[in-house]
Amino acid sequence: MFCGNCGAPYTRKTAARRGKLHHKYWSCKDRIKGKRGNGCKNRNIKEDELLKIISDKLGWRWVDSEHFDSDAMLRIVKRIVITDNDVLLDLL
């Protein structure tokens, strides 16, 4: 999975706040490199939102992230590019 703005890989992160549920999200690796706002400006995306978008683009029925078939996706999708307003799939 790669950034559509700078080409850097997207990495998975877990947000943890006191007393709140943890949620997983994906972020451009170069976003955190820049101090004082110099990093990549591409968006973070919640994992549930990302998996739903991928499911929709593949024509799969969405239930929830726990029922997402990542093995099947890896057999179909070669590359994922996240842009400011879209998720692009490069299929095998």
- The residue range of the domain holding 57 is 2-91
CA dist., res. 76 & res. 42, Å (int)? 25
At residue 32, the pLDDT reads 73
pTM, 2 dp = 0.85
CA dist., res. 26 & res. 85, Å (int)? 15
Residues 11, 47 contacting (CB under 8 angstroms):
no
When divided into structural domains, the chain yields a total of 1
At residue 60, the pLDDT reads 95
Average pLDDT for consecutive 10-residue bins of the chain (92 residues)?
A: 96 82 89 73 94 96 92 96 96 94
